Amino acid sequence: MTTTTDRAPASAAERAQRFRDLHDRLLVLPNAWDACSAAIVVAAGAAAVATTSGGVAWSLGRGDGELLTREETAEVVRRIAQAVDVPVTADVEGGYGPAPEDVARTVGLVVSAGAVGVNVEDLDPGAGSLHPVDAQVARIAAAREAAAAAGLPGIVVNARTDVHLRGVGAADTRLDETVERARRYVAAGADCVFVPGLLDLPELETLARAVPAPINAMAVPGGPSVAALAAAGVRRVSVGTALAEAAYTTARAAATAFLQDGELPVAGDALDYGALQALSARG
């Protein structure tokens, strides 16, 4: 009889297909930023792990916005992929450089590190504006080609557009711009489209009908529930830096209480030393 522990680890192609299949239904991704946080979200029931560039950068003492190198990002992805048995998708921001070749090099590195999906955004952090559509189309195509060259043609490319997050253009034409970009990105090889900043449910419904690929929305505190997003046609929901923010907020509260009162507030269901040791054992 073959047990779970007897089975050979899934190949990259198998993990990529598993991740792709998860998009056939609602996929909820609580974003992780290091190996232990990844193990925690998997233990909580996540079917896959998505990284958050902000959380990864903060954990390394840097700010978000491509202030890490592609090599530093790939190393975090490698540690996460070694720590969990589920598919891992990497937030590679804009690919750590404006040219298609920059994106290709980054995607090749994170695929080698164990990622079977990537987020590639259309914000150019150096310019502080979005890449022109044609330029971003070339960058997405380069991501797809680089993954194939690295032996993973089945990679799941999540094309992020920051039209709504950055408030690009007039409010009454913003959705049209997002639809146009999303369609072009899918035609270039994107498997799904991420639209952080868009939480208007009727507009999400319009977008989901107009784009021939799953739509990824970013849930925020006080925003629509996962159920409401799903009812609007969203098929993938992530949280960006929210979990990392919550973890650091808890650390600040505990440190403040200890410094002021000499007491360590500990929740009844807190993860203790032994639990964290067990979660980290695989890595």
pLDDT digits (tens, 9 = 90+) for 202-261: 999 999 999 999 999 999 999 999 999 999 999 999 999 999 999 999 999 999 999 999
Of all residues in the chain, the percent with pLDDT exceeding 70 is 97
- Residue whose token pair is 């720590």: 83
pLDDT at 193 over 90: yes
pTM equals 0.94
The two most distant CA atoms of the chain are separated, in Å, by 63
pLDDT at 122 over 60: yes
pLDDT value at position 269? 82
pLDDT at 4 over 80: no
Cα 237 to the chain's mean position, in Å? 10
Of all residues in the chain, the percent with pLDDT exceeding 90 is 90
Report the distance separating Cα 89 and Cα 23, nearest Å.
Answer: 13
Give the number of other Cβ atoms within 10 Å of residue 272's Cβ. Answer: 8
pLDDT category at 3 given cuts 50, 70, 90 is: very low
Assign a CATH topology to domain 9-243: TIM Barrel (3.20.20)
Report the distance separating Cα 137 and Cα 131, nearest Å.
Answer: 9
Report the distance separating Cα 177 and Cα 171, nearest Å.
Answer: 10
pLDDT value at position 267? 73
Query: Residue 161, exposed/middle/buried by CB under 10 A (0-12, 13-18, 19+)?
Result: buried
Tell me, what DSSP letter sits at residue 220? -
Report the distance separating Cα 103 and Cα 120, nearest Å.
Answer: 8
Rounded (5°) CA angle 269-275-281: 155
pLDDT at 104 over 70: yes
